[in-house]
Amino acid sequence: MGRDFRVLQNGRCCKLRPIKETTSPNSHQGLLPVAANLIKEMGLSGDVTLERLPGGRNNQVFKITAVEQRFLLKSYFVHKDDPRDRLGNEWSFLRYAWDNGIRCIPQPLTADKKNHVALFEFIDGRKLTASDIIEDHIEHAIRFVIELNEYKTSDEALNLPLASEACFSITDHSNCVEQRLKKLGEIESCDSVGKDADDFIKSQLVPCWKTVRKGMLEQFGNSDTAMDEALDMKERCLSPSDFGFHNALLEQNGKLRFIDFEYAGWDDPAKLICDFFCQPEVGVSHAFFPSFKREVLQSFDHKGALRERIKLLFPLYKIKWCCIMLNEFLPEGAARRGYANQNAKTESREEQLRKVKRYLTESLTYC
């Protein structure tokens, strides 16, 4: 990652000594000495305990207790077919945000690139449900986006990577969905649920996407040149990516803390806004859409063009989230879920397919 790892100690930001590289752990027990080494690098000594936490969808997370202090250890998923540097992305993004005074995130403490693990502040909070969401939570999310982009012209911000699947033209957005649909063609229909998923994709999802794409092309007069036009740098934003209340914790004091930034980086603000309201895990009422869009748009130039792009892309991102939900049926998606949750039940594929069908029906009834 090419950066010094630092930790805030006694109010001062100090560089940590280089971390000794060890053999990559492949089990809970194998992580214990790695965790102990990270704690030692922070200047702490004594017994270290490691407790696996539930809920990780792409990575493994643990609560570390050392010298009566708690920390969060994150072990990142690595796969030969997924070259993304999840640790590097999340670390650089959090480092930028924390260094610029943003505190609605976990403090990044130290990391071990060789073993694909990082240590963070432990946040004692609970997950939100859709029925929990109130206007104050929406305001928290708006402030976070605005604060992230307040220093986006700084050298540190400009050196941040692109977000995962970053899109800077309408063609980029469209190709992203096309590629995901193509990937879903690899689903193995060797059992009843696999066959059901394959049939749903071919008979419902693909035709719906063709309708959405046709509408987009008509908006641009079927001009590839217009769709290929890329956003200027000043029209782009720093995005948490995969942004929503599914990646947030509510503390007892009512403060909302956002987590999980392994896909974060430079992106189209229209995508950020669409994702926030399209993500299905903790759905956000569309009653909040006008105020969220209005407040976030105040931070960007070319507001009219951005407003039109959001309107154009919203149905596209509904289709994209259907594709994301169907990742459960792909070999790499299954491997990632298995890594994050080794006790996952095979029935989840059936439940996931039911969710996708319901999501498409509720979201795109005009298709």
* pLDDT tens digits for range 88-100: 999 999 999 999 9
Average of per-residue pLDDT across 185-192: 85
| In a shared domain, residues 41 and 99 | yes
Phi, psi of 194 (to 5 degrees): -65, -40
**Which amino acid, residue 152?**
K
Predicted confidence at residue 170, as pLDDT, reads: 96
| In a shared domain, residues 113 and 152 | no
Q: Would you say residue 1 lies in a domain?
A: no
284: pLDDT strictly greater than 90 = yes
Average of per-residue pLDDT across 235-245: 97
Residue 184 CA to residue 178 CA, distance in Å, equals 10
Q: Would you say residue 347 lies in a domain?
A: yes
Q: Would you say residue 277 lies in a domain?
A: yes
Predicted confidence at residue 256, as pLDDT, reads: 97
Where would I find the beta strands (DSSP E) of the chain? 6-9, 12-15, 48-53, 60-66, 69-75, 108-112, 117-121, 125-126, 237-239, 248-251, 256-258, 265-267
Is the model more confident about 49 or about 367? 49
| In a shared domain, residues 96 and 173 | no
Residue percentage of the chain with pLDDT more than 90: 73
Q: Would you say residue 186 lies in a domain?
A: yes
| In a shared domain, residues 82 and 180 | no
Q: Which residues of 132-143 are buried (b: 16+ CB within 10 A; e: fewer)?
A: ebeeebbebbbe
Task: Look at residues 101, 122, 143 and tell me which one is the last residue of a structural domain.
Answer: 122
Q: Would you say residue 237 lies in a domain?
A: yes
| In a shared domain, residues 235 and 257 | yes
Burial class (CB in 10 A: 0-12, 13-18, 19+), 40: middle
* pLDDT tens digits for range 101-133: 999 999 999 999 999 999 999 999 999 999 999
Q: Do 354 and 280 meet the contact criterion of CB atoms below 8 Å apart? A: no
Per the structure, the complete domain to which residue 100 belongs is given by: 6-122
| In a shared domain, residues 27 and 90 | yes
Residues in a beta bridge with 237? 267
Task: Please tell me the least confidently modeled range out of 26-30, 60-64, 137-141, 252-256.
Answer: 26-30
Task: Look at residues 87, 122, 157 and tell me which one is the last residue of a structural domain.
Answer: 122
| Maximum average pLDDT range among 27-31, 133-137, 340-344 | 133-137
| In a shared domain, residues 167 and 261 | yes
| In a shared domain, residues 114 and 153 | no
Predicted confidence at residue 340, as pLDDT, reads: 54
| In a shared domain, residues 42 and 95 | yes
Share the mean pLDDT of the chain.
87
17: pLDDT strictly greater than 90 = no
HSE value, Cβ hemisphere, 13 Å, CA-based, for 288:
22
Q: Would you say residue 209 lies in a domain?
A: yes
* Rg from Cα positions in the chain: 21
* pLDDT tens digits for range 192-239: 999 999 999 999 999 999 999 999 999 988 777 889 999 999 999 999
Burial class (CB in 10 A: 0-12, 13-18, 19+), 82: middle
* pLDDT tens digits for range 322-346: 999 999 898 865 555 555 565 544 4
The number of folded domains in the chain is 2
177: pLDDT strictly greater than 50 = yes
- Global pTM reads 0.86
Average of per-residue pLDDT across 234-261: 96
Q: Would you say residue 328 lies in a domain?
A: yes
| In a shared domain, residues 332 and 186 | yes
| In a shared domain, residues 233 and 324 | yes
Average of per-residue pLDDT across 275-288: 96
| In a shared domain, residues 98 and 154 | no
Q: Would you say residue 339 lies in a domain?
A: yes
Task: Please tell me the least confidently modeled range out of 6-20, 275-289, 319-333.
Answer: 6-20
Instruction: Supply the CATH number for residue 195's domain.
Output: 3.90.1200.10
Task: Look at residues 98, 122, 146 and tell me which one is the last residue of a structural domain.
Answer: 122
